[in-house]
Structure 1
């Protein structure tokens, strides 16, 4: 337990106060645990009506669980309301009416109140996890003690309770986490790219961008905002930060044999520009980048059968991510797409991959969103399952082709997450005849 947490306890700042945590996900429950340690009375509210107290884990019998539709009385007596990522405040506006905005805080911001080490935060529509993980591995190679978490791995509240203090806090941060932040302030903030995503959650692209830009709103001239060149047209007329702003783009500065494609060269450059602010040398970074391999489900080679390469890019939940994956190959691509649609310009995607993609295999949901435009340029088939679509593309593939799972959608029509979808693809490929 760190010094600031201990100070809150000693001064009884939250002792006896009523705290409400919205959401029973990993981050929400970590926030509930921290509030309990700080002496608050904790109520956890979740719209799912089939939850039991078992979901509270170690807080069972200590915290109050309110399951089912949110009501005003669940929040009326709150001194602090902590929102889990993915819970949109605007949808709860009717039940939060009359509650001062200062009482409502995102889990990320709540945890940041207790952080003493400098924070390096990475956001963007695509590439966040790869870049964040690469940054952390560079720090490890350089002998720096870093904590990595946020939108990946361990929630920041859990770090405060259970882990040894780190020199540097490295966070992947999503728009879900940032939307309710007002005071969160990293020392270095990285914005990798911006494209249509999460439009099933955000009201529109403006709201989505505003959430991302919350990352930079409290930064000062002593902090650094690292922004990709593609963001200049989007941000040129916006006053969104007082930080020192620098721009980056893809370079050939480093040899990254396991990270193909221009998008990865951009991610590598972003990682370097971020870590050098903490005293890491180019030589230390280069050694890590040379050996860094793609994370699971991110342009991950699964195997080659009869001269056809099978690649798992299940993490690609947007059209831009799928475009980046297609552009990573200099061989014909037969692409598997489908799932829960999150928005985007399918006609533009079709134009951008024309000449690279030779066949599209759709599966599951989003057929009505994808097929009309894609069928104007490519042979398109549809199968109910990923297995059926994969076998269909495999049957027509020629030596030298790539069969690429890069769905451009969320996975929740048929799977519990992108990892389960990627694992299913690996299973199917494993069963194909050599």
Structure 2
């Protein structure tokens, strides 16, 4: 792979990179390594840390901070957009470089990857499934690189020059919307539900982006999709790969992964790894030993017979629904934040069946109250800590206090990880029983 990189491949070309997150920074490094002249754009000055400014100077980037304009794109041969930046939102700017190729960091880096790729997308469960895939491959003795939309950008893997046997990637609709030649050996679509409708123009655009994961595959490659989407995709030409339809089965057990949705994730992970020598026997042992990533239905402890579960990664209505279906005990639900869309009212029957109370916190109060008021006991607190304390004080032994917000976290936190860590810190500081919490309140 290292031999594929040559300093003169893009010499004489101007590449514009938009967005100073990890993906953009990795793309800029790769482009500079290929000999391109890199113009780096970041709208938010707070996103340009001192270490990155120093990195930009050393690498010779033309770093421009502030609002983008057509002049920033003039003369560009290539424009690399970081995830979350819409090409449609830059239409006037891109008009200044009509011949430029507009692509994602994922597409750019994939040009230099010769190892087989397993790519996973979906509205929910991507990270867990990617971790399961990597875990199974490692159990079968394969050297694995895990990254993409989680952890390390693919460009960093390319630059490192340390090839794996299999490259396992989580890929988002933001990344997939701008790919054309990205070709996974195995591509997985876990599920599809309304999400990111604050970013995508409509549901069709979102689905089309997800299906792009299969677009460049060829016969002999594997496309894995949920059986419950078969009718919806009938008559739609989206891949030339060999298609496998999957659904949850009872053949695998993971003590640390609750719920039917995780049985579906395990099934998809196994099917994705079969082409690389993972047998059902290897998978069964590996699943039993698997520990999930933090903030994804993570059991953090119990106090006074009340279980506390951190599912801060649940930023969608569908993810929250899956979490609620994972417990056969009364749930005291914590949710709220920046709502991204979805049908909350449709969950009313499930709430009546499984939820003892809802504690709202932060933003989104009006959305949740409009959908659920009168359906279940519900209250609102401005921040997470008083909401947790109140739910715990009202809880009974056998209940679950579940943080599964169905929202983005940016009203109160830098991201879902910060929100989950705060929840865990709050748990650690609680008294040992609900009665004690009631007295303290």
Change over 3 Å in CA distance of 1:305–1:163 after alignment to 2? farther
Match of 1:384 among 382, 387, 392: 382
- Counterpart of 1:336 in structure 2 is 334
Which consecutive unaligned segments of at least 5 residues does structure 1 have? Answer: none
Map residues 231-380 of structure 1 onto 2, 5 A cutoff. Answer: 231-380=229-378
**C-alpha contact 1:314 1:421 (8 A) present in aligned 2:** yes
The aligned counterpart of 2:102 is 104
| Structure 2 unmatched ranges of 5 or more | 433-441
Q: Sort the Cα spacing of 1:158 and 1:248 in 2 relative to 1 into closer, same or farther, 3 A.
A: same
Quote the residue 1:45 is aligned against. Answer: 41
Contact 2:27 2:105 in 1 (8 A): yes
Counting only pairs closer than 5 Å after superposition, residues 29-428 of structure 1 correspond to structure 2 as: 29-49=25-45, 51=48, 54-61=51-58, 62-97=60-95, 99-100=97-98, 103-428=101-426
Asked if the contact 1:21–1:83 (Cα under 8 Å) also holds between the matched residues in 2, the reply is yes
Partner of 2:15: 19
Contact 1:53–1:65 under 8 Å retained in 2: no
Say if 1:49 and 1:69, in contact at 8 Å, map to a contact too.
no
Is contact 1:331-1:400 (8 Å) kept?
Answer: yes
Do the aligned residues in 1 keep the contact of 2:77 with 2:97 (CA within 8 Å)? no
Q: C-alpha deviations, 1:249-299, integer Å up to 9, x for none? A: 100111212111000000000000000011222222221101112211011
Once residues 401 and 45 of structure 2 are traced to their aligned partners in structure 1, the CA distance between those partners, rounded to angstroms, is 42
How many pairs align?
A: 430
User: Could you tell me how far 1:69 is from its partner in structure 2?
Assistant: 1.1
Cα distance per residue 1:28-67 (max 9 Å; x no partner): 0011011111111111011114547742453324111011
SS, match of residue 355 in structure 1: helix
Distance 1:145 1:433, change over 3 A: same
Q: Secondary structure at the match of 1:176?
A: helix
Instruction: Please state whether the residue corresponding to 2:266 is helix, strand or coil.
Output: helix
CA deviations over 1:108-160 (Å, ceiling 9, x no partner): 00000000001110000110000001111111111101111000111000111
Q: TM-score, normalised by structure 1?
A: 0.96
What's the offset of the Cα at 1:376? 3.0
How far residue 163 of structure 1 moved from its aligned partner, in angstroms, is: 4.7
SS at match of 2:409: coil
Aligned-pair CA distance for 1:307: 1.0
Partners in 2 of 1:57 and 1:25 — Cα distance? 15
Distance 1:361 1:274 in 2: 39
* Aligned-pair Cα RMSD in Å: 1.4
Contact persistence 1:54–1:60 (CA under 8 A):
no
The alignment status of 1:3 with 2:3, answered yes or no, reads yes
Instruction: Tell me the secondary structure at the aligned position of residue 214 of structure 1.
Output: helix
Higher mean alpha-carbon deviation, 58-67 vs 401-410, is at: 58-67
- Deviation of the 1:351 alpha carbon: 2.4
Q: Residue 299 of structure 1 contacts residue 325 of structure 1 at CA under 8 Å; is this kept in 2?
A: yes
- Please tell me whether the aligned partners of residues 16 and 40 of structure 2 are also in contact (alpha carbons under 8 angstroms): yes
TM-score by length of 2: 0.95
Q: Distance in 2 between matches of 1:430 and 1:350?
A: 31
Structure 1 residues 410, 101: closer, same or farther in 2, change over 3 A?
A: farther
**Contact between 1:323 and 1:353, CA under 8 Å: does it hold in 2?**
no
Distance 1:306 1:315, change over 3 A: same
